[in-house]
Structure 1
Amino acid sequence: MDTDTPARTNAPEFTVSEISGAIKRTLEGEFGRVRVRGEITELKAYPSGHIYLALKDEGAKIRAIIWRFAVPKLSLKPENGVEVIATGKVSAYGERSDYQLIIDRLEYAGEGALLARIEALRKKLGAEGLFDEARKKPLPRLPRVIGVVSSEKGAVIQDIRTTIARRFPSHILLWPVPVQGQGAAEQIAAAIHGFSRLPAGMPRPDVLIVARGGGSLEDLMAFNDEAVIRAVAACPIPVISAVGHETDTTLVDFASDRRAPTPTAAAELAVPARAELLAALAQRSARLLQSGQAALNHARLRLSRTEARMPDLPGIVGAARQRLDDRAERLVLAPAALLARKRAALDALAPRLPHPRETLAGHRHAVAQAATRATAALQRLTDQSHARLARVPDPANALRRMVDQRHAALARIPDAGQALRRVLEQQQARLHRLPDPGTRVAASLREARLTLSGLAARLEGASYQGVLARGFALVRLEDGPPVTAAGEVPAGARLAITLRDGTLHATADGSAPQKRPRPAPKPEQGSLL
């Protein structure tokens, strides 16, 4: 028998990948979703966002991983040394033949019930609106009295006192209370209520600081008590909470008006820095002085520019006085000069005016010519109408003959239809609608009479007889032309006065109307300036 021949076996062969995948499927199918309690160790956060860690107890250790998408959903920040309860599923990593826990939820193991109680209280008070931002009160700018609710022992009150004395010295009113242990919550709530109910004779704080040092979750439970939270929310004085260190958070922080990470920071929030106020005041004073100086310089510059552009007021007043004197002198002379110009224009125009008799004679001649032309035109129109009427045959007889011819033709044609009858009826209708020729001639005569009446009216309006009919009279010398001025008639002259219905004769007595004396000129007014 050959000893080099390998022994045969019935066990199946697997590749590494096959056996690794089978183990992974077995782990995930057997365990599913599990909760593992242990202490966090070997915590490491990678730049990719994934967190690798391990959970251990007294006898074993299991590797775990928190994927990047699950990190924001965690209710706590994982830290080394913290005992937690991790929820997830068991899986395997084939490249290293390791099994691991894929974590999607973390809870505190030792403090789980306590944290759940705090979270339930937070939701309850939050639903009541005790944590709303609208309830927050603003802090006073310069408080005179600062109330402190804290222990009289320890570094908290000393830090607050030294910070306030350094920044802005103010009165501090301390209400000492225990900050942990049995009955601490009730005393803290009573102190907050006591500050808000101080009698009128005692100084009442303008701002209230609730503070204590750091500690464990159990040590800070007095500031998670419902009575303390309701006292802070109902306090009429603005409250600053400074409980624990920067990473510690209690429910008092949600109900207070401002949260400070440390007691020292709470004192800094309560009072401003005096040096900073003095520096800001000096800076604003300098800016105000500079702004006022700049505004004054700008006003001076505008005033100087305006002064340079202003005209010479004494010169303007002198020129105005001179123009006023000149206008006053011209105003005195203006009426006499105006009358002289009007009289000269009238004298120049008088020789060119025609005599009224010539005008009347021209109008009479024009009216006579118009009447002659109108009479001749009317006669010609009448003659032409008579001649045209004589030449035109009687349309009625012609139409009757045409109708008779149509009837004869219709009688000759036995098959004449309804169309020829309609034509005959239309011709008969036209015969009835023809006007009488005498009517047209009468209309032409009426138009000619209207034209002649209009010309006669115009002739009558141009005649001086119409003027005499309205009450006027034409005065003439018996052997001369009409009289146009009373001064032209000598005494004893014989006058012929023509009226509407006849002529009167009279003798002039020579008394001409007296001219009104011209008013004496008013004394010249002196200069008003």
Structure 2
Amino acid sequence: MNEKLSLTELQLIIRDSLYLALPDMYWVIAEISEIKENFAGHCYLELIEKHPEEKNVRARAKAIIWNNRYRFLKSFFENITGESLKEGLKILVKTKVEYHEVYGLSLVITDIDPAFTIGEMALKRQMIIKKLEQEGVFSMNKEIDFPFVPQRIAVISSKNAAGYSDFINQLTGNSYGYVFYTALIETIMQGPETEHSVISALDKIADYSGLFDLVVIIRGGGSQTDLSWFDSYNIAYHVTQFPLPVLTGIGHDKDMSVTDMVSNRSLKTPTAVADFLIDCVAEAENNIMELSSQIVDGSRKIAEKNRNRIEESRIRLIPLSRVMISGIKDNLTVKIIEMINTAKEYIIRSGLKPANLESKLISAF
């Protein structure tokens, strides 16, 4: 075939051929690798398929959801799944293949099946949980002894998050007047950088673990759809290996992330974490006061018991001492008489008269 075609003509032939070969809509399973919404409200995605074992990309395609469909599909998907459309999410979408002479091949998404994504998310969570259990690390952080008085706290959060402010205000405004020492490690708490940022924060705290009693990971003020960033094997594994107890306040009433599941304690909100710590210190104070009272009462009982013993000993010693004194006196009298008799004999031998020496000496005693 010697016919010469312009590039545009060739592209049009490709377009028409695709329309003839692929005239229908197709349900396609793919993973979102990139997603962005432009100023006009259109959503542009890059879809990929990875090799199940090697993690290598085996297929890639551009996709678009026009704004008139995107508004509906976005709201529909989030309401059903509790998740936003984001990188790393596996989806089942209804697409039509289109080809443009300038922009090339793309898939136009017209519908999405949330049930598929829910199943994939649940499967992913279960696989992470199973892997942690098989490695024997799932409960390791729960087994760490909780500090008696938890006052030195490393905080993993974003300083601009409403949840962080709630946590600090609740701690500092406690009605008991307890003092807590907190150190914030600024962390990204939503989006693709969450995993790397949280792990980096844990590593920093681990280098100074002797300065802290525990770690809290708190997230507040964000969307519930951001919770799945904490369904991360790498974050969960780092928590299980951490040398200090880790408390989380990143969950919701209905859902718990894998990070929540492996932490030493999981509470619903940052405020709930603060209340828990305040209650721990209050309980420690009550235990100390009770122990102090027991020590005082015990000391009084011991002192009273010893006082009674001393009094009993005194009472027993009085008659005994009288008997001892009487015996000593009798022995002394006998000795004196013996001395007098000896003196009398000496005086008689000397030709002297003893007079009334004996009676005088005896009467002296």
Aligned partner letter, 1:266: V
Q: What is the Cα deviation at residue 205 of structure 1? A: 3.3
Q: Cα 1:180–1:275, aligned 2, differ >3 Å: closer, same or farther?
A: closer
| Conserved 8 A contact 1:214-1:245 | no
Residue 239 of structure 2 corresponds to 232
Q: Cα 1:274–1:208, aligned 2, differ >3 Å: closer, same or farther?
A: closer
The question of 1:291 aligning with 2:298 is answered: yes
CA distance in 2, matches of 1:241, 1:312: 75
3-state SS of 1:220 partner: helix
1:83-482 correspondence runs (5 A): 110-133=117-140, 136-143=143-150, 145-167=152-174, 168-197=178-207, 204-213=211-220, 218-270=225-277, 281-321=288-328
Q: What is the Cα deviation at residue 304 of structure 1? A: 2.2
CA distance in 2, matches of 1:114, 1:274: 39
CA distance in 1, matches of 2:221, 2:253: 9
Aligned partner letter, 1:149: I
CA distance in 2, matches of 1:158, 1:217: 18
Q: Scaled by the length of structure 1, what TM-score is found?
A: 0.37
Aligned partner letter, 1:317: M
Q: What is the Cα deviation at residue 270 of structure 1? A: 4.0
Q: What is the Cα deviation at residue 250 of structure 1? A: 1.2
Q: What is the Cα deviation at residue 327 of structure 1? A: 10
Q: What is the Cα deviation at residue 158 of structure 1? A: 1.2
**Greater RCO (Cα-Cα under 8 Å, separation 6 or more):** 2
Q: Cα 1:237–1:161, aligned 2, differ >3 Å: closer, same or farther?
A: same
Q: Cα 1:272–1:217, aligned 2, differ >3 Å: closer, same or farther?
A: closer
Q: Cα 1:278–1:115, aligned 2, differ >3 Å: closer, same or farther?
A: closer
CA distance in 2, matches of 1:193, 1:205: 14
Residue 73 of structure 2 corresponds to none
Q: What is the Cα deviation at residue 206 of structure 1? A: 3.1
Aligned partner letter, 2:298: S
Q: What is the Cα deviation at residue 112 of structure 1? A: 1.0
Select between 169-178 and 115-124 the one with higher mean Cα deviation: 169-178
CA distance in 2, matches of 1:282, 1:254: 34
CA distance in 2, matches of 1:147, 1:318: 76
CA distance in 1, matches of 2:141, 2:224: 29
| CA deviation string 1:338-394 (max 9, x = no partner) | xxxxxxxxxxxxxxxxxxxxxxxxxxxxxxxxxxxxxxxxxxxxxxxxxxxxxxxxx
3-state SS of 2:309 partner: helix
Q: What is the Cα deviation at residue 133 of structure 1? A: 4.6
| Conserved 8 A contact 1:147-1:208 | yes
CA distance in 2, matches of 1:283, 1:182: 50
Q: What is the Cα deviation at residue 251 of structure 1? A: 1.0
| Conserved 8 A contact 2:187-2:201 | yes
| Conserved 8 A contact 2:195-2:230 | yes
CA distance in 2, matches of 1:160, 1:220: 18
Where does structure 1 differ by over 6 angstroms across 4 or more consecutive aligned residues?
Answer: 214-217, 325-328
Q: Cα 1:315–1:158, aligned 2, differ >3 Å: closer, same or farther?
A: same
CA distance in 2, matches of 1:204, 1:291: 36
CA distance in 1, matches of 2:115, 2:222: 17
Q: What is the Cα deviation at residue 324 of structure 1? A: 5.6
Q: What is the Cα deviation at residue 272 of structure 1? A: 5.4
Q: What is the Cα deviation at residue 82 of structure 1? A: 6.7
| Conserved 8 A contact 1:207-1:270 | no
Q: Cα 1:207–1:271, aligned 2, differ >3 Å: closer, same or farther?
A: farther
Unaligned runs of 5+ in 2: 1-78, 82-113, 336-365
| Conserved 8 A contact 1:150-1:177 | yes
CA distance in 2, matches of 1:137, 1:317: 68
| Conserved 8 A contact 2:155-2:217 | yes
| Conserved 8 A contact 2:148-2:284 | no
Select between 273-282 and 297-306 the one with higher mean Cα deviation: 273-282
CA distance in 2, matches of 1:228, 1:123: 15
1:55-74 correspondence runs (5 A): none
3-state SS of 1:141 partner: coil
Q: Cα 1:125–1:179, aligned 2, differ >3 Å: closer, same or farther?
A: same
Q: What is the Cα deviation at residue 208 of structure 1? A: 1.0
CA distance in 2, matches of 1:289, 1:204: 34
Q: What is the Cα deviation at residue 148 of structure 1? A: 1.1
CA distance in 2, matches of 1:126, 1:247: 23
| Conserved 8 A contact 2:129-2:138 | no
| Conserved 8 A contact 1:213-1:244 | no
| CA deviation string 1:288-319 (max 9, x = no partner) | 33332333223223332333344523432244
3-state SS of 1:240 partner: strand
CA distance in 1, matches of 2:237, 2:153: 21
Aligned partner letter, 1:195: I
Q: What is the Cα deviation at residue 161 of structure 1? A: 0.4
Bigger Rg over Cα? 1
Q: What is the Cα deviation at residue 214 of structure 1? A: 7.8
Q: Cα 1:267–1:217, aligned 2, differ >3 Å: closer, same or farther?
A: closer
Superposition RMSD in Å: 3.6
Q: Cα 1:169–1:295, aligned 2, differ >3 Å: closer, same or farther?
A: same
Q: What is the Cα deviation at residue 162 of structure 1? A: 1.5
Q: Cα 1:227–1:282, aligned 2, differ >3 Å: closer, same or farther?
A: closer
CA distance in 2, matches of 1:117, 1:301: 74
